[in-house]
Amino acid sequence: MTQSVLYSKVAKDGFTYNQVRKFLQEVLALYRKHDLKSVLILGPDDTRRDSFAGTICCICYQVLSCWCNVDFLEADGTHAPMDEQRRKVMYPDIPNSHYFSHDWRNDTVVVGSIDSSTVHALSDGILEKDIPVEINRKILDPKYGLIISVGQVVPHAVAGMSNYSKNFMVGAGGSAMIHATHMIGACYGMEKIMGLDHTPARNLMDCAQERFLSQLPILFIQTVTRLDNRQKNVLCGLFAGNDRQAYEQAVALSHRYNIIHLDHPLKTAVVWMKPEEFHSMWTANKGIYRIKRAMAQGGTLVVVAPGVSCFSEDAQMDKLIRLYGYCGKERIVQLQRNSLELRENPAVAAHLIHGSTEGKFTVYYYAPNLGKRNVEAVGYRFITSEELANLFGFPGLKVGYQDESLESTYFVENPALGLWIYEQFP
């Protein structure tokens, strides 16, 4: 299909399942006349469970499998693939025989390269080297007459806003682009990019997609969610298109609902990382960097992450995080100059920068599966369940401020759904 496709709907109070199904049926009907034999769906893992991508991918599978073969690719990025039990919770209607996971180290094919001068220009001068563009080999299989990329648009630490070209370049991409974009974002300044559409890392990913994937029959289905008056996460935006227009509309809606502006900095904040979603510190540190711009100088941030049992699901990355810890941007950049391992794994260095407080506030981490020694070895303070209850009243906190005082504890039930900002953040 060469003509532009753009379908978008917004429902402030949330879509029903039947409304989502009707929307998708209308979009997919455009492709039925093209005599499709096979379709590939890309969807996230369960760290994006609240994106409604699971529901959307399952509906797409149900509709399309009535008239063609449908395969599914889990766009993991650097995350470990979900086991069968987690798959069935996220994607109950997709059979194992049609379900594939992405291995960012071994499943990719180089489709081209972005030259060093272009990289230098797009990255705001941060990086100047050729970047090979690697994509999961299934995406390039000519048997697929349609490739559907499903995901949520929400503020993101590397790209600025998630989804669109990131799904291919990171979610289903290879090590070179993953490392480059993570380091570009961290060096440019995560605090400056989160919530923005056009950022140095996004520019690089968009360029790679336009140069090397534009010939592919890609349909993007993107979601925006919000918390309703009952603090329930609802699907409020559906955007489908084969170019950047749908993504840009989703970005505008996400800005409206997913960026929370606070009128004073937070002295104390507690964030809850769902144990069924967050298994590594790599992913659970969303609880730090999505709140970082709202924290007061000398403040206290408590990350409650009972499901975290490792620093990264990738063994090599886990080893490096244990070795170097979250010691601040300046120190990490210095360490990288002297460490071949960190130079060869810049995404780790970027992650360590993301999770550092730069001395502005203190992080307490409840991660009993890691234990006190491991948590404190990487630069955080360990907290017990008894201390959580006695010092911070957890569990039992309500979402937001506990009272009207400036000293009140602020509780975030799901930091993955937004970005919290105090405008005068230094």
pTM higher than 0.85 for the full model? yes
Kindly tell me if the per-residue pLDDT of 425 is higher than 70: no
- Strand 144-152 and strand 218-227: pairing? parallel
Of 53, 254, 96, which Cα lies nearest the Cα of 160?
A: 254
pLDDT at residue number 237: 98
**Residue 270 and residue 265: Cα distance in Å, rounded?**
14
CB 264 within 8 A of CB 410: no
Token pair 């711009």 is found at: 293
Q: What is the mean pLDDT of the chain?
A: 95
Token pair 């360029």 is found at: 207
pLDDT at residue number 407: 85
Helix extents (H) in 104-161: 116-122
Kindly tell me if the per-residue pLDDT of 2 is higher than 60: no
| pLDDT tens per residue across span 15-36 | 999 999 999 999 999 998 778 9
Within 192-335, strands assigned E span: 218-227, 233-241, 259-262, 266-272, 295-304
The fold of the 6-259 domain, in CATH, is Rossmann fold (3.40.50)
Q: Give domain limits for the chain.
A: 6-259, 263-422
Kindly tell me if the per-residue pLDDT of 307 is higher than 60: yes
CB 328 within 8 A of CB 359: yes
- Please calculate the CA angle 162-165-167 and round it to the nearest 5 degrees: 65
What are the two backbone dihedrals, phi and then psi, of residue 43, each rounded to the nearest 5 degrees?
-140, 160
**Range of lowest pLDDT (71-75, 93-97, 294-298, 422-426):** 422-426
Average pLDDT over residues 75-82: 91
Residues 6 or more apart in contact with residue 219 via CB below 8 angstroms: 5, 27, 31, 146, 147, 148, 149, 240, 241, 242
The fold of the 263-422 domain, in CATH, is 2-enoyl-CoA Hydratase; Chain A, domain 1 (3.90.226)
b/e map 79-93, b = 16+ CB within 10 Å: bbbbeeebbeebbee
pLDDT at residue number 426: 54
Please state the separation of Cα 145 from the chain's center in Å.
27
pLDDT at residue number 341: 93
The H or E element that residue 384 is part of is none
What are the two backbone dihedrals, phi and then psi, of residue 18, each rounded to the nearest 5 degrees?
-65, -35
pLDDT band at 83, cuts 50/70/90? very high
Average pLDDT over residues 197-218: 97
pLDDT at residue number 405: 85
3-state secondary structure at position 318: helix
Kindly tell me if the per-residue pLDDT of 424 is higher than 80: no
CB 346 within 8 A of CB 293: no
| pLDDT tens per residue across span 102-137 | 999 999 999 999 999 999 999 999 999 999 999 999
b/e map 40-76, b = 16+ CB within 10 Å: bbbbbbbbbbbbbbbbbbbbbbebbeeebebbbbbbb
DSSP assignment, residue 247? Answer: H
Kindly tell me if the per-residue pLDDT of 159 is higher than 80: yes
